[in-house]
C-alpha cells in the first residue's frame, strides 16, 4: 500500500527537534506533491502562541474557488500490514503534539484520519484495523464542530476524512502514486457557528507580540496557502497598527 502524509501547516517546516526527526525518519521528502485541498485558517492556537490562528480542514472550502494548497509527502517505510498504518498514525500524532512520546492518535483539539483513493483498493484488514483503532479511542475521537450550513470534514465513527481525493496542483489531475493518505483534522474555533474572516485572522497576528505571524509567512514560503491568503496579506500590510504593537 502506498501511503502519504497530507500536511497543511508547520509540520512541514517547523525546525523543532521532534518534527525534524519525524520528517527525516518517517517521510520521503524528495517526492512530495502540492495538492488542492479544502483548508483555511480557523483554529485558535494556545495562549503561548498568542491566540493566533492555524490551519483546519473545512468542508465549506470544497468548491474549486475556495480550495487551498497542501503538501502530500510519501511515508518512507513500506506499508504492507495493518500495524504499519497504525504505527505511522501514532508517529504523526506525536509530531503534531511536538512530543517524542507515542501516545494515541487523537485529543479534543484534533484527530488523525485517513482518506482513501477511490481508484485504489485498500485491503479490508487494513481498513478494519483502522476502524478498530478508532473504536478503541472511544469518546476521545468525537466529532469536530462544523460551521453553519457546512457538512462535517470527518466521520468520527470510522476515522475517515469526508472530502474528495485531492488534485495534483501541477497536473490538475487526481493525485497519483498513493492508495491512502494520513492527516490530522484539527478542531476549528467558531463564533456563532462561523469561521473567522480574513481580517479577524490578520488582527490576531497584529495583536500578538511574539511574531507568530511567521506561521502564515512560512506556510506561504513553502507553498501552503488558502483562498483567503491575499486578503490576509493585505490586512497585515496596510493596517494602521504595526505588527507586534
Specify the pLDDT at position 111. 98
Q: Which three cell numbers stand for residue 108?
A: 479534543
Please give the C-alpha separations between residue 166 and each of 12, 46, 140, in angstroms, as whole numbers.
Answer: 18, 30, 27
pTM over 0.75: yes
Which pLDDT band, with edges at 50, 70 and 90, does 239 fall under?
low
Cα four-point dihedral sign 226, 19, 108, 155:
positive
Percent of the chain at pLDDT above 90?
90
Q: Is the pLDDT of residue 241 over 70?
A: no
87-100: per-residue pLDDT in tens? 999 999 999 999 99
Cα 120 versus chain centre, distance = 22
Q: Which three cell numbers stand for residue 96?
A: 503534531
Residue whose grid cell is 490530522:
184
Q: Is the pLDDT of residue 243 over 70?
A: no
31-42: per-residue pLDDT in tens? 999 999 999 999
Please give the C-alpha separations between residue 112 and each of 103, 132, 138, 156, 214, in angstroms, as whole numbers.
Answer: 12, 14, 14, 10, 25
Specify the pLDDT at position 8. 97
103 Cβ contact list (under 8 Å, min separation 6):
90, 93, 94, 97
Residue whose grid cell is 464542530:
145
3-24: per-residue pLDDT in tens? 999 999 999 999 999 999 999 9
- The residues facing 183 across adjacent strands are 113
Please compute, for residue 61, the number of CA atoms within 13 A of its CA located in the half-sphere on the CB side: 24
More confidently predicted of 55 and 237 = 55
Cα four-point dihedral sign 105, 106, 109, 110:
positive
Average pLDDT score, the chain:
94
110-141: per-residue pLDDT in tens? 999 999 999 999 999 999 999 999 999 999 99
153 Cβ contact list (under 8 Å, min separation 6):
38, 56, 57, 58, 59, 144, 146, 161, 162, 163, 185
Specify the pLDDT at position 240. 42
Specify the pLDDT at position 238. 66
Amino acid at each position: 500500500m502506498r501511503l502519504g502524509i497530507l500536511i497543511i501547516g508547520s509540520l512541514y517546516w517547523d525546525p523543532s527537534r521532534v518534527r525534524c526527526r519525524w520528517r527525516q525518519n518517517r517521510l520521503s521528502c524528495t517526492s512530495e506533491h502540492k495538492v488542492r485541498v479544502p483548508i483555511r485558517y480557523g483554529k485558535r492556537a494556545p495562549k503561548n502562541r498568542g491566540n493566533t490562528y492555524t490551519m483546519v480542514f473545512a468542508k465549506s472550502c470544497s468548491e474549486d474557488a475556495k480550495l487551498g494548497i497542501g503538501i502530500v509527502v510519501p511515508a518512507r517505510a513500506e506499508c504492507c500490514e495493518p500495524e504499519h498504518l497504525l504505527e505511522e498514525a501514532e508517529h504523526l500524532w506525536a509530531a503534531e503534539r511536538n512530543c517524542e512520546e507515542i501516545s494515541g492518535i487523537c485529543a479534543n483539539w484534533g484527530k488523525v484520519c485517513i482518506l482513501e483513493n477511490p481508484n485504489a483498493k485498500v485491503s479490508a484488514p487494513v481498513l478494519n484495523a483502522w476502524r478498530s483503532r478508532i473504536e478503541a479511542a472511544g469518546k476521545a475521537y468525537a466529532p469536530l464542530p462544523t460551521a453553519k450550513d457546512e457538512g462535517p470534514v470527518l466521520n468520527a465513527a470510522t476515522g475517515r476524512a469526508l472530502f474528495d481525493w485531492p488534485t495534483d496542483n501541477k497536473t490538475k489531475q487526481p493525485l497519483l502514486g498513493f492508495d491512502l493518505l494520513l492527516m490530522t483534522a484539527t478542531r476549528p474555533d467558531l463564533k456563532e457557528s462561523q469561521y473567522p474572516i480574513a481580517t479577524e485572522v490578520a488582527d490576531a497576528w497584529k495583536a500578538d507580540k511574539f511574531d507568530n505571524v511567521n506561521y502564515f509567512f512560512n506556510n506561504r514560503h513553502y507553498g501552503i496557502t488558502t483562498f483567503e491568503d491575499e486578503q490576509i496579506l493585505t490586512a497585515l500590510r496596510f493596517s494602521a497598527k504595526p505588527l507586534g504593537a
